[in-house]
Amino acid sequence: MLISQSLRKESVQKMNLYSNILIISTFSFISATIVAQEKPRLEITLNEAIQIGLENNFGIKIADISIQIARNNNTLGNAGFLPSVFLQAGQANNLTNTRQLFIDDRAVNLNNVYSNNFNSGVFANWVFFDGFRMQAAKRRLEESVDLSELERQAVMEQTVADIVNDYFSIVQQLKFLELTRVSLNLSRERLDLAESKEKIGSSAGVSTLQSTIDYNNDSLTLMNQLIQLDMLKNQLAQTLQLRVSTEITVDTTINWPELPEYDQILSSFVNQNIQLKQVRSQVRINEHMISEAKSFRLPVLTLTSGITFNVSQNPAGFVQQNLGYGPNIGVSLYQNIFNGNNVKREIENTRLNGEILKMQLEESQTLQTRQLDILIDQHKSLDQVLQVQSSNVDFTKQSLDIAVQRYRLGAITDIEFREIQLLNISATNQLYQTELLKRQLEIEMLRISGNLMQR
């Protein structure tokens, strides 16, 4: 009997020694790694994170360039309203041998005769009617600018959604971490109590051994939580286009506004959803392209004008020098009669492409309406779930407080205490996970309804 107790005591001492070595070594390694890396620190609120992300995001920068390109293309000249003016000049020099025989038998022989001709002019062509193609082209270019801005807004909305999700994930992870620390402290207190009881002989070594195992498990859980927190911070740093090694500190007190009423979300969705806006813009662009294609059925009237200057010299001719200059103006008409039905084909294909866009608009509206309905139903269900889980946390917390007192008095066993402790941890974890899921649903609902940027 004495040998058994001695062996059990020795086993417990070894377990304590190994566990302490494991914990001290692990935390020493983590601390040494952090100090060696010397991560740059950044303390940011949610609004500051959004501002940094919008400023650094490459997708938004690319979208800004696309908008500038669309604005550069949106000009009267590109649409065809303005005339084209050009300068033309030319010089021709000749060296010829000439033999001329007249009817009165006179003959003229000239060798190496030099002659030249110079012409120049400024010309202008202005298409003042092309079947209203230029008006349709201008509307298409203006709509292209609007579409580019919508594409930029879509990138911004997705970027904000990613930042907010990452930020809230870190905040919730900090709650998990705090819960784990509280549990670890409680396990440490329990281990100290078990060791004290064993020293005075009021408890067997099994209690110390079980307390040591539970303490080690809680320590490993804390380490895993720290690793998970570091991964989430790296994800936020990547979303913000910062160095991944940046040590980010977040503000856990977030003033998140209340979600609008469900009816308000559904009503604003039709007009504010960014994807629907993009497809509608593409539909309008296609309608302008149909108008451009139809314009080829109508005549094109072009006004031409210019000022010319011509001078030529030829010593071998009847006129040694010829000089001419002055303005000219005219109107030309071009009417396409038949070009292999290409105009008809282009109009029909553009119309069919418009049908595709309208079906895509209807499909997108149907799918996103269904998705929004699902999100709203899930959000309503989570409200009920949170009420039950919140009550469970209160009950398990009260039960844990009672268990701590009873364990100190020796009224419950280690297994019973651990079971109550794990129930409290599980209930609190479920509550935190549900809170995070609810927040993610709200972010997605705001994004789909087009209200995220207004928050």
Query: Given the structure tokens 């938004």, which residue do they identify?
Result: 60
Residue 199, in any domain of the structure? yes
Q: Residue type at 125?
A: N
Domain count, the chain: 1
Domain with residue 287: its CATH number is 1.20.1600.10
Residue 399, in any domain of the structure? yes
Q: Could you tell me the residue range of the domain that residue 69 belongs to?
A: 7-80+130-299+335-449
Residue 1, in any domain of the structure? no
Q: What pTM was estimated for this model as a whole?
A: 0.83
141 close to 74: Cβ distance less than 8 angstroms: yes
Cβ-based neighbour number of residue 219 at 10 Å: 19
Residue 281, in any domain of the structure? yes
pLDDT value for 199: 80
Residue 185, in any domain of the structure? yes
- For residue range 250-265, list pLDDT tens digits in order: 998 888 888 889 999 9
| Lowest mean pLDDT segment, chosen from 19-23, 104-108, 120-124, 442-446 | 19-23
Segment 413-438 shows an average pLDDT of: 94
- For residue range 96-141, list pLDDT tens digits in order: 777 777 777 777 777 777 788 899 999 999 999 999 999 999 999 9
Eight-class DSSP state of 297: G
Residue 119, in any domain of the structure? no
**Is it the case that residue 177 has pLDDT exceeding 50?**
yes
Residue 51, in any domain of the structure? yes
3 state SS of 292: helix
Cβ-based neighbour number of residue 211 at 10 Å: 27
Phi-psi region of 268 (alpha: psi -120 to 50; beta: other; left: phi over 0): alpha
Residue 96, in any domain of the structure? no
Q: Residue type at 342?
A: N
In angstroms, what CA-CA distances link 164 with 322, 440, 442? 81, 9, 11
